Amino acid sequence: YGISQMFFENQFFHDFVNRANAVTQMPLIPGIKILTKSSQLSMVPSRFFVDIPEAFSNQMFATEDGKKQKKIGIDWAFHQCVDLIEAGHSHLHFYILQDATPLHILLDRLLDHYPSRFRKQ
């Protein structure tokens, strides 16, 4: 299997999977990074050569409140995950550094959203 670079616009990953599937049957796992601060919107793209969607950037820069920015980032990642799961991706990889709290919040939301899909019966 392969794990993708982090991305913030799912269409990039969907297009990549379509191109890759033309030449390989290797499973591809999407890589998700939860951005929780507006300062990350310039640091992450410059270090990892990824694009930040304008809609996401606009939401983050619309507030200076750290709690609101964290919520915006978690919401963005949640919607990414839902789209990827609905597109048939059964595995997700999360890039985290130091603080796993946003991931715990995201996973709780996903478990609530898909109560029978991820919980043991």
The predicted structure's pLDDT at residue 97: 86
Alpha-carbon Rg of the chain, whole angstroms?
15
The predicted structure's pLDDT at residue 121: 59
The predicted structure's pLDDT at residue 119: 66
Backbone phi and psi for residue 32, each to the nearest 5 degrees, phi listed first: -115, 135
pLDDT tens-place string over residues 67-96:
999 999 999 999 999 999 999 999 999 999
The predicted structure's pLDDT at residue 111: 95
Distance, in Å, from the CA atom of 28 to the CA atom of 119, rounded to the nearest integer, reads 23
Distance, in Å, from the CA atom of 61 to the CA atom of 45, rounded to the nearest integer, reads 16
Inform me whether the pLDDT recorded for 60 exceeds 90: yes
The predicted structure's pLDDT at residue 12: 96
Taking the CA atoms of residue 40, residue 96, residue 63 and residue 49 in that order, the dihedral angle to the nearest 10 degrees is 30
Structural domain includes residue 120: no
What would the two tokens of residue 98 be? Answer: 């130091």
Structural domain includes residue 9: yes
Structural domain includes residue 76: yes
Q: How many domains does the chain have?
A: 1
Domain that holds residue 18: 2-113
Structural domain includes residue 67: yes
Inform me whether the pLDDT recorded for 10 exceeds 70: yes
Per-chain mean pLDDT for the chain: 95
Q: CATH number of the domain that 88 lies in? A: 3.20.20.220
pLDDT tens-place string over residues 29-54:
999 999 999 999 999 999 999 999 99
Structural domain includes residue 32: yes
| Beta carbons of 28 and 1 less than 8 angstroms apart | yes
The predicted structure's pLDDT at residue 117: 79
Q: pLDDT grade, residue 120 (50/70/90)? A: low
